[in-house]
Structure 1
Amino acid sequence: MDDVTPPLPEPPARDWSLLPLDVLSLIFVRLGAVEVLMGAGLVCRWWLQAPKLPEVYRAVDTENDDIAWMDAAVLRAMARAAVDRSDGQLRVFAGRLFVNDGLMKYIVERSPLLTTLRLEYCFFDVFGTRLINVIRESPLLQLRSLEETYLEVEELTDVLESCPLLEVLQVNNCFKIYDDEESLLRAKFARIKTMTVRCDVDFNYPTDFESEDFDFASDSEFFQ
């Protein structure tokens, strides 16, 4: 009778709580600031230190469909917490729906290294003169993406003049910039390497639509 080879013993379970802090920070950077703020750093007591490291919050992307329809006040509070934890190192911010003037001002005033800004569906609370006043404080911007905007060519011109390092501009479905104005923008700002301005001049803007249709309430006291 052939000898039966005994099964190999199972390897001991790895104690993830013993990972060094620098390794944890790399894991959390890959995971993303939003996932960390939503609880990924609460697995064990030792992990509570890594979510507070500024490098975890150099990029904050809140465009994920899974959170896009969360309460706007919660999302704004989450974004503010990420900005605070970044300790001035935030370089990339992406937001959808919930971003308002107050949050934009908070981000820009505390993020001198901001180079990339993407905003989607922020009609009522961001775009316009108030955005221009805020964006003047971010001269290091290199990439700017605006989706579904209600912005006039004069306002966009002011923004571009305030960002001398801007290399990439993407403006999609801008309801108040027309083809001839787009040509003038391209000529005036030839320094911008990649400029995409797609305009929907036939869009029937709903005049009876109010910002109250979304929850733009004051920020709650979360993520302290």
Structure 2
Amino acid sequence: MESSSDPQQQHKNPNWLELPRDLITTILLKLGAIEILTSAQNVCSLWREICMDPLMWRAIDMHNLGDLLDIPYGLEIMCRHAIDRSCGQLVDINIEYFGTDELLKYITDSTSQLRRLQLRMCNNISDEGLIVAVRKLPLLEELEISYCSFSTDPLGTVGHSCPLLKSLRLNNKGSLRAHLECNEEALAIAESMHGLRHLQLFGNKLTNDGLLAILDGCPELESLDLRQCFYVSLGGNLGRRCVEQIKDLKLPDDSTIGYEFDASIEDNGSFDEDYPSGFSDIDLWSNDYDYDFSGGSDLTDYEDPYWDY
């Protein structure tokens, strides 16, 4: 008997094109938008048909490594095309590095159902662009703003415009430089986000006063990440209150293992010696990119439309 008819051999070498549709869909949903649009949908007509289904695009993950100069296609054009495919059903989107005011407006003009918005290293989105966007997102429950260059102004708008907000990730690079304390973000959170349950403030410059305001203003808070918040000192009554009020508490000097961004610390050697000098060798990301991939046209069908933009 030939090996090709051997049941064991066939089991070891399945025909991926003959998998059940539901299983193919499950596999494709685990891919990011970039992988689907540049490769997966071109495998065969069935895969392409599945990739055109709006339900495939309720969550759009534009995760990328930030090596924008090495990417030969327009990420903003690709993102707009993915949004179009969602047909207004988009509820979750992650943008890294290439976000712009225009793209954020395109997202919020395309759906009012967004529950989760992740903005990472998006230095081409302005305060005004974010403010205009969140005013159109009354159902937003989760917001991440990591390593962006926004001021405090949008946070108040987020709190007042998104009453269902339960999770906020406001991450930055930890600093050991002296006299950089700032409680503006903490106060904006405390004054407008009373329903928060999960708050990550990695590398924030708040002090004990800002932390106390958050504890008072966010009574439903269950988890709080204060890693590399070096201007907070959790001794005495404040430390005891944090332990009693917060179920999942990460302290300023806790390990950064598992943190998905660059955990290196800005240090000019002028901070008090009482503070730790560093906790992690993790260096998965860089915050040195500032490229603008704005513009582009809407596409309805295509053959490798993202190349050479």
Structures share a fold, TM > 0.5?
A: yes
Identical aligned pairs, as a percentage?
A: 29
AA matched with 2:189: L
User: Which residue is equivalent to 1:77?
Assistant: 77
Counterpart of 1:157?
Answer: 156
**Tell me, what secondary structure is at the counterpart of 1:149?**
coil
What corresponds to 2:95 in structure 1?
95
How big is the shift at 1:184?
Answer: 5.2
Q: CA deviation at 1:7?
A: 8.5
Residues 67, 150 of structure 1: alpha-carbon distance in 2 compared, 3 angstrom cutoff: closer
Structure 1: which 5+ residue stretches go unaligned?
1-5, 204-211
Cross-structure match for 2:196: 192
Distance 1:76 1:101, change over 3 A: same
Q: 2:28 is aligned with what amino acid?
A: F
Coordinate RMSD, CA, aligned: 3.4
CA–CA separation in structure 1 for the residues paired with 2:32 and 2:291:
26
From the superposition, tell whether residues 44 and 144 of structure 1 become closer, same or farther in structure 2 (CA, over 3 Å): same
- When residues 18 and 215 of structure 1 are mapped into structure 2, their CA distance, relative to the original with a 3 A threshold, is same
Give secondary structure in 1 for the equivalent of 2:89: coil
1:173-188 matched pairs, under 5 angstroms:
173=172, 178-179=182-183, 181-183=185-187, 185-188=189-192
- Paired residues for 1:1-224 under 5 Å: 10-11=6-7, 12=10, 14-65=14-65, 71=71, 74-123=74-123, 125-173=124-172, 178-179=182-183, 181-183=185-187, 185-197=189-201, 198-199=203-204, 214-219=291-296, 224=301
Following superposition, the deviation at residue 72 of structure 1 comes to: 8.8
CA pair 127-170 structure 1, distance change in 2 beyond 3 A: farther
Seen in structure 2, the aligned counterparts of structure 1 residues 220 and 67 have a Cα distance that, compared at 3 Å, is farther
C-alpha distance in 1, partners of 2:182/2:83? Answer: 36
* Counterpart AA for 2:161: S
More strand by share: 1
For residues 5-46 of structure 1, the C-alpha deviation after alignment (integer angstroms, 9 at most, x for no partner) is x98952346443344444332221123333211111211223
Shift of 1:164: 0.7
Q: Aligned residues, how many?
A: 211
Partner SS, residue 144 of structure 1: strand
Q: Alignment partner of 1:95: what SS?
A: strand
Partners of 1:143 and 1:65 lie apart in 2 by 22
SS of residue in 2 equivalent to 1:145: strand
Tell me, yes or no, if the aligned pair for 2:80 and 2:298 is still in contact at 8 Å. no
Structure 2 CA distance for partners of 1:46 and 1:172, relative to 1, 3 Å: closer
Residue type of the alignment partner of 1:218: G
1:138 is displaced (CA, Å) by 1.0
User: How far apart, CA to CA, are the structure 2 residues paired with 1:142 and 1:37?
Assistant: 28
Q: CA deviation at 1:55?
A: 1.6
Letter in 2 for 1:85: R
Secondary structure in 2 matching 1:157: helix
* Pairwise CA distance, 1:68: 5.4
For the 8 Å contact 1:120–1:146, the answer to whether it is kept is yes
Q: Give the letter for the 1:42 counterpart.
A: N
Determine the structure 2 residue equivalent to 1:207: none
* Structure 2: tracts of 5 or more residues without a match: 175-179, 207-264, 267-288, 302-309
C-alpha contact 1:73 1:219 (8 A) present in aligned 2: no
